[in-house]
Amino acid sequence: MGGLPLNRDGNMISTKWFDVSVRVKPREFLQLMRSQTYDRARSAGFDLSYAREQVINGRFIEEVRTTTTYTSPLGEEITNQFVTHKIVVFSFYHRTGAQWLLRIDGTPRSLKSFTRCLSDMLDFGFSIASITTPVMDVLRYFVEHSMTVTKVSNIFAANLPLNKGALAKLEVRATAGGDALAASAMAFPTIQEAIERMTVQVEYDSQSIDLTISRNAGFMFDEEYEDTIAELYMNYLNTRLNAK
């Protein structure tokens, strides 16, 4: 999948997925991104580490210049300029026609500059939409494709319906009995639909993986399983999106 250096919390990484539409063909999209390569003459642009028509991995780099002015003890006005860089690590996966999947690694504060650059580059022929996927549906798909849930550490649910239209939040933590807890969540459709985030330990190919799945297409997992999780979720999304 063309792994990249990611934002890490210890040995854990976080990713989030988006649905993207690009009005040009994959080859032209790639050529346009290459034409916007970040260098000394450009304050914002792309640094591609893996570039094919079907998969594009890289970084979006933006220079941010900050100017501060202060008065010295001698009454002189002194101006300092600082240069920092904002970086977005991304992967584009071509689905079909104009449709792509976009994966963002780490947790950048904002994607505004990144998406604005793409929109300008494509003469506004670019759109991006958040993806929402039911947590239990994703976990069930993973289980159907050779994963085994060995422990459930946390379930967070929101907007649980109560009497008279009231809504509630629910957080369940477990250090043991994960199988029973997972079975309980699967048994109650109301809870399933309300789950926003779930942290589990799964076994895959004789390896133990700590995995957090969020309703907003976000994940956190051991960095060495980046390719495994990405491929499984991308296959899940393709199956789900193609069924629409």
Closest listed residue to residue 54, CA positions, set 31, 18, 27: 27
> Does 143 map to a domain?
yes
Q: What single-letter DSSP state applies at residue 225?
A: G
> Does 85 map to a domain?
yes
The number of folded domains in the chain is 2
> Does 194 map to a domain?
yes
> Does 240 map to a domain?
no
Question: Long-range contacts made by residues 110-118, C-beta under 8 angstroms, separation at least 24?
Answer: 113/44, 113/60, 113/62, 113/86, 114/60, 114/62, 114/88, 114/90, 117/36, 117/44, 117/45, 117/60
Give pLDDT, residue 120.
95
Q: What is the pLDDT of residues 63-94, one digit of tens each?
A: 988 899 989 898 899 999 888 899 999 999 99
Same domain, 82 and 56: yes
> Does 221 map to a domain?
no
Same domain, 25 and 116: yes
Same domain, 45 and 82: yes
- Domain span including residue 89: 8-130
Half-sphere exposure of 3 (CA within 13 A, CB side): 11
Half-sphere exposure of 169 (CA within 13 A, CB side): 4
Same domain, 17 and 122: yes
pTM of the model: 0.83
Same domain, 25 and 89: yes
Q: What is the pLDDT of residues 204-213, one digit of tens each?
A: 988 899 999 9
Same domain, 59 and 121: yes
| Mean model confidence pLDDT for the chain | 86
Same domain, 97 and 112: yes
Determine the average pLDDT of the residues in 27-37.
96
132: helix, strand or coil: coil
| Residue 243 confidence class, pLDDT cut points 50, 70, 90 | low
End-to-end CA distance of the chain: give it in Å, rounded.
26
Same domain, 91 and 22: yes
| The dihedral sign for the CA sequence 238, 239, 243, 244 | negative
| Residue 4 confidence class, pLDDT cut points 50, 70, 90 | very low
Same domain, 72 and 46: yes
Same domain, 96 and 33: yes
> Does 52 map to a domain?
yes
Distances (CA, A) of 88 to 29, 44, 120, 163, 169: 18, 11, 17, 44, 32
Q: What is the pLDDT of residues 155-167, one digit of tens each?
A: 888 887 777 778 8
> Does 38 map to a domain?
yes
97: helix, strand or coil: coil
**CA 117 – CA 219 distance, rounded (Å):** 26
List for the chain the helix, strand, coil content (%; round to 5). 30, 45, 25
> Does 228 map to a domain?
no
- Which residues sit opposite 203 in a β-bridge? 148, 208
Same domain, 29 and 98: yes
Q: What is the CATH number of the domain that holds 19?
A: 3.30.310
Backbone region of residue 240 per phi and psi (left: phi > 0; alpha: psi in -120 to 50; beta: other values): alpha
Same domain, 12 and 124: yes
Give pLDDT, residue 8.
39
Other Cβ atoms within 10 Å of 151 Cβ, number:
19
Distances (CA, A) of 108 to 75, 155, 243: 40, 25, 31
